[in-house]
Amino acid sequence: MTFIILSLWLTLIFLFGGGARADIASLSFLRPVSVLVLAYAIAGLSPAVLREHRFLLGMGLAVLLLPLLQLVPLPPQLWQLLTGRELFVEIGREAGLGNHWLPLTMAPAATWNALWALVAPLGVLVLGIQLDERQRAALLPLILVLGLTSAVIGMLQMLGDPRSALYFYDITNNGAPVGLFANRNHQAVFLASLIPALFVWTAAQAPRAPVGRARMPRPVVMAALAAGVTFLLLLILASGSRSGLFTALIALLAVPFLVRDRSREPVSQPRQGWANGPALRSWLMPVCLAGLVGIAILLDRALAFDRLMRWESADEMRVRILPVMMDMLGLYLPWGTGLGSFEAVYQVHEPYRLLTASYMNHAHNDWLELALTGGVPAMLLLAIAAVALVLRLKNSVSSKAMSRRSALEGLALVIILILFVASITDYPLRTPAMSCLLSVAFVWLFSGTNSLPGRASRPWPGGEARIQRWDH
């Protein structure tokens, strides 16, 4: 039942949670449901799950508490001591408002929105840790189906009317293949994360994948894989997203390390021919796809490369606001301005020379924005998560852990890396869909080697035989 609810919830999130704005109409439906899902997930927690996943649950609780604490009203004597509040104190004095208790955040409505935005991914996390290994692995084909659905919708958008009903959000990149998302960058980054996912899912199947009662020859499976990844790459290139281009490159470079054959062959075994060597098989597909990208560039069909070579006004603005961001960080640290408050606070500090007809809704560097709005507490939580990921990565690549590492753990690390890189120049994790994808990655990464008592432990349907090549 837990797996069914999580699958339905992820489907709803991707169908209605592809935008990062707070005024999206679908949020009025998603957020109440997310509270119910989280309540159901918490009610289903057992003592064994609590003990086994205390780090993940502790981090989730700490992340949820941060905006809550920023919303707690403070006495005026304490609030006025916070740096950067002088303007608000002066406004209150001139308006005759007197001394009122005010929260730490400088934009309470925006911080409430940030708090609500955390409920959906936390619900996915709490539900995900209650799954057994087989069910966690079954989330991969679900993510692939949702991703390919978004890709097909993106293709139809690109071929059809830029103002058609296939664009589900009022503020979007019309004419670009945004799929289920409002922003082409978020769609492209999501498609980039599907590239290693396709390789992992295909490589985890038996050498001959069953189709009904017949069996599909492995060359057919590999041809389908090549067609799927080619489709994703071409769509990323056509989207014009540079962050999608960089993350797709990361995805391609990671593929050989995800699908390389770790089987221990006897020393006396004859050396395999060049066409059957596991290392060559691992590298062959990315090399061929890189060649395909080169052909697309030569045919002038890669908008992402075209935008990479062209300096736009939006890029100039992102660079020009960096000194302002540094000044704001120096002013508001260590406590920050409140999660979600960047837009309002930046307008206070925006210099006259940077005023334009458009406004800065985000810093377009989520790590800088997190430091500004969350302060040292948010940076501390981020540092703890980074240390945990490094330790997990160290355990994964160690000689002893290598035999136990599952394909999903490696895929989770790649997805987290992709989202980390994309957040340097954008804000993909502010969309419900991408934040829930990150939660799924954390479930795969920190639950991959554990199985609960009395639950199935087979990673993929069909038994361990299909994944032996990953674990030895």
- What are 388-406's pLDDT values in tens digits? 998 888 776 654 443 334 7
- Residue range 202-230: average pLDDT? 65
Give the pLDDT confidence score for residue 84 in this predicted structure. Answer: 85
Higher pLDDT, 423 or 242: 423
Characterize 440-454 residue by residue with b for buried, 16 or more Cβ atoms within 10 angstroms of its Cβ, and e for exposed.
bbbbbbbbbeebbee
175 within some domain: yes
Give the pLDDT confidence score for residue 212 in this predicted structure. Answer: 47
Single-letter code of the amino acid located at 126: V
Length of the chain as a residue count: 472
Domain assignment of residue 148, given as a range = 2-48+129-263+275-310+403-471
Residue showing tokens 């005010």: 102
Give the pLDDT confidence score for residue 83 in this predicted structure. Answer: 86
CA atoms within a 13 Å half-sphere pointing along the CA-CB vector of 23? 3
Q: How far is CA 167 from CA 16, 146, 154, 157, 188, in A?
A: 12, 16, 9, 7, 15
Give the pLDDT confidence score for residue 59 in this predicted structure. Answer: 95
H-run or E-run covering 86: helix 86-94
Q: Give me the phi and psi of 215, to 5 degrees please.
A: -130, 135
Q: Are 9 and 31 in contact (CB under 8 A)?
A: no
Span 275-309, pLDDT tens digits: 344 444 555 556 566 665 665 555 555 554 555 55
Q: Which of 248, 116, 143 is nearest to 185 (CA)?
A: 248
362 within some domain: no
- Residue range 111-125: average pLDDT? 96
331 within some domain: no
The encoded tokens of residue 75 equal 């006495």
Indicate if the pLDDT at residue 7 is higher than 90.
yes
Q: Are 49 and 452 in contact (CB under 8 A)?
A: yes
Span 71-108, pLDDT tens digits: 999 998 888 888 888 888 888 778 776 678 889 999 99
300 within some domain: yes
Residue showing tokens 């980054």: 189
Is 416 exposed, middle or buried, given 0-12, 13-18 or 19+ CB atoms closer than 10 A?
buried
Residue showing tokens 């009317």: 161
Q: How far apart are CA 248 and CA 255, in angstroms?
A: 11
The encoded tokens of residue 251 equal 């995805």
Indicate if the pLDDT at residue 458 is higher than 60.
no
Span 43-73, pLDDT tens digits: 999 999 999 999 999 999 999 999 999 999 9
DSSP 173: -
H-run or E-run covering 1: none
Q: What's the chain's average pLDDT?
A: 81
462 within some domain: yes
Q: Which of 41, 46, 31 is nearest to 6 (CA)?
A: 41
Q: Which of 96, 102, 106, 105 is nearest to 75 (CA)?
A: 102
388 within some domain: no
- CB neighbour list of residue 365: distance below 8 Å, 6 or more residues apart: 318, 325, 423, 424, 425
The encoded tokens of residue 414 equal 């790649």
Q: How far apart are CA 178 and CA 186, in angstroms?
A: 8
Q: Give me the phi and psi of 92, to 5 degrees please.
A: -65, -40
Confidence of residue 454 (pLDDT cuts 50, 70, 90): very low
442 within some domain: yes
**How many Cβ atoms sit within 10 Å of the Cβ of residue 158?**
17
296 within some domain: yes
Q: How far is CA 261 from CA 169, 216, 264, 271, 274, in A?
A: 44, 21, 9, 14, 15
Strand extents, DSSP E, 255-369: none
Q: How far apart are CA 407 and CA 448, in angstroms?
A: 9
Q: Under DSSP, is residue 78 helix (H, G, I), strand (E, B) or coil?
A: helix
Give the pLDDT confidence score for residue 276 in this predicted structure. Answer: 41
> How many structural domains does the chain have?
1
Span 438-450, pLDDT tens digits: 999 999 998 754 4
Give the pLDDT confidence score for residue 455 in this predicted structure. Answer: 39
